[in-house]
Chains A and B, each alone.
Chain A
Amino acid sequence: AQKVTQAQTEISVVEKEDVTLDCVYETRDTTYYLFWYKQPPSGELVFLIRRNSFDEQNEISGRYSWNFQKSTSSFNFTITASQVVDSAVYFCALRMEGGSEKLVFGKGTKLTVNP
């Protein structure tokens, strides 16, 4: 069975602090895809990144960075120098290769960045 665990339910930081959101996944497949989405108060989920299981290279996009480690089945997300606009719920998700197109989501981590 596929499962995504985001152990941090809520995190609160002060602006300019760095914050890491944890994501641990479970799957028996060797080929799979991992995603991060941001859900602001407006409701829609905004795509942030997609990673396939064969690409363990870490990625940086501006203030965002992702650390993918297959050895620990983790795909953690770090925001550097957080800003108030980063306040949202962040979801990690997993999808198998082929077959069903469905995404399996974690429960999400609510991030609040205070001024």
Chain B
Amino acid sequence: ETGVTQTPRHLVMGMTNKKSLKCEQHLGHNAMYWYKQSAKKPLELMFVYNFKEQTENNSVPSRFSPECPNSSHLFLHLHTLQPEDSALYLCATSQPDREIYGYTFGSGTRLTVV
């Protein structure tokens, strides 16, 4: 257990569905991230939140919508996805002044779009 919990672990959704991925941390970190991991591609940063404020959107399509209601929770709302959006979505956290320990990742949500 890393202290970063992602739910669900697996998700299958149709292209017209709306679903949400959840990330919860108990580390007291101030920065939270969404990464996308597709087969045979580098991990891609999607969004960055610092102190609940979005500080980076890495040209992510609008069918992905992040939300950070408090410092412990991060959501990724999904709607009208495409099959190429199937991937492992990873949440990560960090504490900028204590990054000697690197970033802490959750186990990810394996998303399949059918």
| A residues at B contact (CB < 8 Å) | 4, 33, 35, 37, 42-47, 50, 91, 100-108
Contact = CB atoms under 8 A, between A and B. Distances in A.
Contacts of B48: 100-102
A101 B92 CA distance: 11
Contact of A45 (B56, B105, B110): B105
B108 A43 contact: yes
B102 A37 contact: yes
A101 B108 contact: no
A106 B4 CA distance: 23
Interface string B1-35: 01010000000000000000000000000010100
B94 A101 contact: yes
B56 A91 contact: no
B24 to A, nearest CB: 14
A47 B43 contact: no
Contacts of A103: 43, 45, 103
